[in-house]
Amino acid sequence: MPSPRFYCQTHLAGLRTVALPAGASHHVNVLRLASGQEIVLFDGTGGEYACTLRFEGKQAMADIRAHVQKESELSGRLTLVQGLAGADKMDWIIEKAVELGVSAILPVSARRSVLQLSGPRLEKRMLHWQRVVQSASEQCGRNQLATLSPPASLAEVLATIRDAPDQLTLLCDPAMTTDLQACLAEHAPLKAVTLLVGPEGGWTPEELKIAQEKGAIAVRFGSRVLRTETAGLALISAVSALCGWN
């Protein structure tokens, strides 16, 4: 059985022992781990650290034994530009996108987004989503954290995406005639793909125009209309498989 994995914000290189952060310490107690248990720590900078758990009073500590250069990243870079979705849908999208290997998640405050965030509410939600990224990385074996940007308009988000011959920006639209597989094959080999997924109400005509001006290609992915919490995850899986990004 694999050793329990915990994310640690402390930079671990060069350390021999470290106190586990509150969240990891709580998880240790929930799992009822005992002193001497082998655990794994990672700090998001690459690789992981084989450690031995011990306790100083109620404080869980980790004695670091070795750094292991192990990664579970896709061989290509996938970016998900996701229109803000309501309720718990964003939690689900972020968690599963991390598990599937995305390198970056760029939330968009779309015109038709049910969820609109600002001020303290936005700060609280960003902290929560960052914990979702960390927890998903612990679970799936990734040692590098996907980047998560604060919500912005579609124009602002697309302005941060660099154009390159081996990169592609795709927008899924069931009304299109060009299918996803044909589009990827035409532009192969690719090193990076950015996926644009609208909120529950979809992109507005103005937002679609912005995407097209940025060079986004609208493609068809099946004949069914997928929910926002399904579309991005399905596209991530399909693109990584079709591009051979293991």
Kindly list the distances between the CA atom of residue 81 and the CA atoms of 29, 108, 209, in Å, as whole numbers in the listed order.
37, 7, 16
What percentage of residues in the chain have a pLDDT greater than 90?
A: 85
Q: Give the global pTM.
A: 0.94
What percentage of residues in the chain have a pLDDT greater than 70?
A: 100
When pLDDT is averaged across residues 133-154 and rounded to a whole number, the result is 96
**Tokens 């044909």 identify what position?**
182
Alpha-carbon torsion angle 11, 15, 21, 104, nearest 10? 30
When pLDDT is averaged across residues 102-121 and rounded to a whole number, the result is 92
When pLDDT is averaged across residues 225-241 and rounded to a whole number, the result is 95
When pLDDT is averaged across residues 91-108 and rounded to a whole number, the result is 98
Fold of 77-242: Alpha/beta knot (3.40.1280)
The predicted-structure confidence for 20-66, as pLDDT tens digits, reads as follows: 999 899 999 899 999 999 999 999 999 999 999 999 998 999 999 99
Q: Find, among 183, 156, 149, 140, the residue nearest to 80 by Cα.
A: 149
Which residues neighbour 68 within 8 Å (Cβ) at sequence distance 6 or greater? 47, 48, 49, 50
Residue 180, pLDDT score: 94
Residue 51, pLDDT score: 98
* Residue ranges of the chain that CATH labels 2.40.240.20: 5-68
Instruction: Name 174's bridge partners.
Output: none
Mean pLDDT score of the chain: 94
In the predicted model, is pLDDT for residue 99 greater than 80?
yes
CATH code assigned to 5-68: 2.40.240.20
Which residues neighbour 11 within 8 Å (Cβ) at sequence distance 6 or greater? 43, 45
When pLDDT is averaged across residues 151-168 and rounded to a whole number, the result is 90
* Residue ranges of the chain that CATH labels 3.40.1280.10: 77-242
